[in-house]
A and B are shown apart, each in its own frame.
Chain A
């Protein structure tokens, strides 16, 4: 399904997604106890190859928190972190929970190795962030949007994203991708939130936003 939007319609959608991305950043900030800066979101139609490029290229290694989206809007959401930044975020989250000096995590030189507590904290960060985004959209739809339980994967970005993209591109060459980047001032934690809605469920959202026919 291809929906054509006027420039005004696109602006309405971009504004709403921007607000939802901001809510997601606030949720991550509240969870981590840090001020999280949210970059102006990018919302565009793109090919699968372009989505992979937006994630840093198919071979870039990421820690990804995946959440499936069901209900009034359907699709996929991923929160991606560079491995070293994911470690830093996990440390911040766990320090907030356990208190300084109580971290049971042994330092490791391997950025790809995470212990169970770190993975659990990062999984929850994705859950909270993506749920905040979806709650904002659900307010416009007046219907619930349900996230699946989150799953954490440390892998090449292409390998994680292709599973999601293949689900979306079977009857379309392009997907609608919303992306923003979170960072924590001073000591960088760069996280990228991707939201990839299923085309056939977009119409309800666009109708609810009044983005069609303006």
Chain B
């Protein structure tokens, strides 16, 4: 199993989200450390979205709509609904929130990101279908819009969530 490189690759850079209803679209977020990627896929509407959140809390940010989880998650959920997704039937998966560095003044943002994401979803009556959060490895993630497969690549492996 390998991650795809193709013209239909849509990249969610840090603080960005990508959405597609095209069956050949692959949504990717590269090199996640403490950041957290949230993938949402509606099996009936066949629409998928991937958001690359950076931090747990902060003010709404026009240039990076999903920079902060608490003020950005609704931007992502509304964008999915605007594409025809019905959130209650969606598969919702998350990956990232690692602790890459152990020295310094507590860069433990990953843990806070994971907790804030789970709380934000619960507050909206949603929950994670599956997740790969924490640890101390980097991750690249890919959501296949055709079938909702969510692939996670680390330096040593590629797994499907």
Contact = CB atoms under 8 A, between A and B. Distances in A.
Nearest to B35: A162
A33 interface: no
Given A61-B155, A66-B101, A167-B109, A159 B14 contact: no
Interface string B21-56: 000000000111111000000000000000000110
A166 B31 contact: no
A173 B63 contact: yes
A170 B103 contact: no
A160 B58 contact: no
B105 A68 contact: yes
Summarize B's interface: helix, strand, loop or mixed.
loop
B72 interface: no
Interface residues of A, number: 36
Contacts of B103: 66-68, 148-151
B102 interface: yes
B155 A162 contact: no
Interface in A137-194: 148-151, 153-167, 169-171, 173
20 contacts: A48-B15, A58-B14, A61-B155, A68-B105, A76-B104, A151-B101, A153-B100, A153-B101, A158-B33, A159-B32, A159-B137, A162-B34, A162-B100, A163-B33, A164-B107, A165-B14, A166-B35, A166-B54, A166-B107, A173-B61
A200 interface: no
Pick from B13, B14, B30 the residue with the most CB of A within 10 Å: B14
Contacts of B102: 151
Interface of B: 13-15, 30-35, 54-55, 58, 61, 63-64, 67, 98-105, 107, 109-110, 137-140, 155
Nearest to A69: B104
B107 A167 contact: yes
Contacts of A154: 155
Contacts of A205: none
Nearest to A149: B103
A101 B114 CA distance: 49
Summarize A's interface: helix, strand, loop or mixed.
mixed
Nearest to A67: B103
Given A158-B31, A170-B58, A173-B64, A163 B100 contact: yes
A58 B30 contact: yes
A134 B52 CA distance: 33
Interface string A65-105: 01110100000100000000000000000000000000000
Nearest to B15: A48
Contact of B30 (A59, A149, A153, A167): A59
Contacts of A151: 101-103
Given A57-B31, A151-B103, A159-B32, 13 more contacts: A57-B30, A59-B140, A155-B33, A155-B155, A156-B33, A156-B138, A158-B30, A158-B31, A159-B139, A160-B138, A162-B34, A163-B107, A164-B107
